[in-house]
Amino acid sequence: MTRTTLRPGALLPEVDDVTRREFLIGAAGLLLLPDGCGGGQDRRDASGSGETKVIENLLGKTRVPVNPERVVVIEGYTGLDTAVLVEAPIIGFSHSPMIEGGFPEYLKGNGLSELPDVGWIEVNLETIASLDPDLIVSGDFLEDGVQENLSSVAPTVAFENIGYNWETPTGWQRYVLRFAGALGDVPAAERAIAGFEERLDGVRQRLDGRLDELTVSAVRINAGSFQLYPGQGPGSAILEQLGVGRPEGQRPEDEPNPNNS
Per-residue pLDDT in tens (0 to 9) along the chain, 261 residues: 333 232 333 333 333 333 333 333 333 343 333 333 333 333 333 345 589 999 999 889 999 999 999 999 998 778 899 999 999 999 999 998 878 888 888 898 889 999 999 998 789 999 999 999 999 999 887 777 787 889 999 999 998 876 555 556 677 888 899 999 999 999 999 999 999 999 999 988 888 778 878 888 888 776 677 777 666 666 777 888 888 888 887 776 665 544 343
Q: Are strands 52-57 and 60-65 parallel, antiparallel or unpaired?
A: antiparallel
- What is the number of other CB atoms lying within 10 angstroms of the CB of residue 140? 17
User: Taking a C-beta distance cutoff of 8 angstroms, is the pair 232, 164 a contact?
Assistant: yes
Distances (CA, A) of 96 to 6, 90, 104: 12, 16, 9
User: Taking a C-beta distance cutoff of 8 angstroms, is the pair 177, 171 a contact?
Assistant: no
The domain segmentation of the chain, as residue ranges, is 36-185
Which pTM was predicted? 0.73
DSSP-assigned letter for residue 130: H
Dist CA 182 CA 149 (whole Å):
19
- What is the number of other CB atoms lying within 10 angstroms of the CB of residue 139? 26
Q: Give the length of the chain.
A: 261
> What is the CATH topology of the domain spanning 36-185?
Rossmann fold (3.40.50)
H helices within 24-106, ranges in order?
27-31, 40-45, 78-85
Intra-chain end-to-end CA distance of the chain, in Å: 23
